[in-house]
Amino acid sequence: MQSPRLAVADPDRLAAIASYRLGGHVGDADLDAVVAYMARALHAPIAVINLVGPDLQCFPAEIGAGVPFSTVPDELSFCAYVVAMREPLEVTDALAHPVFAENPAVAAGAIRAYLGVPLIDEDGFVLGSLGVFDDDVRSFSGDDLDVLQIQVRLVRSVLSLRRQVTAHRWDARLLVSQGRVLEAVATGAPLDEVLDLLSTAVRDLAPDADAEQERVLAEIVDRLTTVATDADRWRRALTRVARQDPLTGLANRAHLLDAGRAALNRGGAVLFIDVDHFKEVNDRGGHAVGDQVLVRLAERLRTHLEEVPGAVFGRLGGDEFAAVLPGVDRGTATTLGQRLVLALVDDVAVGRRHVRVSASIGLAMARPGTPFEEALQEADQAMYGAKEGGRGRLHGAPLPVQRSASVGP
């Protein structure tokens, strides 16, 4: 007899077995009833449904074997030869057989005779066998073989139904997980949270997936990852547009006011910046030249303030800018303001003339809890002090802004 090892180890056949997700002693009432009937009808002490792997026999249902699995080399396994031959096998006296006499159970006297039929599933793969063993020399009848052939058709139907039910359950779990991810994306959940949901879904579904389901799962995870990443990028872009001044790229007025309130909770300084002689640049050079000036000054403002911890700065509108410097003292704020006065200077050619633009900056200090609007108004007033003092300079409000409080009678 030719060795059954290659047939048993066929990868496609093993994948087919795995798709049924059956282990030993699965506790299926239908399969248990089949082996009970086989043993009773054939008067056999041992009856098994055997899913055959390399050197391994797995018994989803058995009577008389007493174990869910057994390990026997393929070359000595009755059921392995049934798989390789794809046809019934009868051994009337295993002890006298040139191959099976060395089977450990035969040598131990537990098995002497065998009758088995191949268990071929609806896709044509030989999953294993249905077989009975006797502990005495025995010839099996045609009726005995008919019993096994009828029972193998029943087992094939049971396994097919189990696989369909299991697949439907897996598909339902996949749909639930996919729905959760899409809902998280639709409601604007952070990207990390969405990716965590995907990771959880993979951990839940992958252990129960067959090869085809693994492929489907990988495709869906890739697709949902792309959807989540694109949605996050789109939301970030919208947020950036909603918060950003389109000309300078700094915070726009709305975002500056919102972020400024939060930044000033623990006190600090507010700078109000107005570009000197900007109207003349616009009137003589046109808005395109004026826009270029604003862009250059905004970039210098960014360069000087972006390394200040927690600083918030942006364009209020026109040629007006503001900056919130949380937690800084007056000396630090003054130093930063004076550096900005020196940096925010530009000579602009407008026609045959040059216009020298500069920045008048008002400084207001605010104690913790001071409303941002009050501090901004105080800095605005201080800025007019800089204008009156000759422009292109820093002017500070005389006293820190106090938190507004109602006064009782």
DSSP per-residue codes, 109-165 = TS--EEEEEEEE-TTS-EEEEEEEEESS--PPPHHHHHHHHHHHHHHHHHHHHHHHH
Report pLDDT digits (tens) over 55-89.
999 999 999 999 999 999 999 999 999 999 999 99
The mean-pLDDT minimum among 87-91, 327-331, 394-398 falls in 394-398
DSSP letters for 198-234: HHHHHHHHGGG--HHHHHHHHHHHHHHHHHHHHHHHH
CA distance linking residue 18 with residue 21, whole number of Å: 5
Report pLDDT digits (tens) over 288-319.
888 999 999 999 999 999 889 999 999 999 99
CA distance linking residue 39 with residue 362, whole number of Å: 99
Per the model's pLDDT, the better-predicted residue between 48 and 307 turns out to be 48
Chain-centre distance for alpha carbon 3:
47
Q: For residue 6, give Cα distances in angstroms to 13, 59, 86, 290.
A: 11, 21, 13, 82
* pLDDT at residue 409 in the model: 36
Q: Is the pLDDT of residue 408 over 50?
A: no
CA distance from start to end of the chain: 112
Q: Is the pLDDT of residue 238 over 80?
A: no
Confidence of residue 352 (pLDDT cuts 50, 70, 90): confident
Is the pTM here over 0.85, yes or no? no
Stated length of the chain: 409
DSSP classification of residue 43: T
Q: For residue 72, give Cα distances in angstroms to 2, 3, 54, 56, 364.
A: 17, 13, 9, 6, 88
Report pLDDT digits (tens) over 140-163.
999 999 999 999 999 999 998 888
Report pLDDT digits (tens) over 319-329.
999 999 999 99
Determine what percent of the chain is predicted with pLDDT higher than 70. Answer: 97
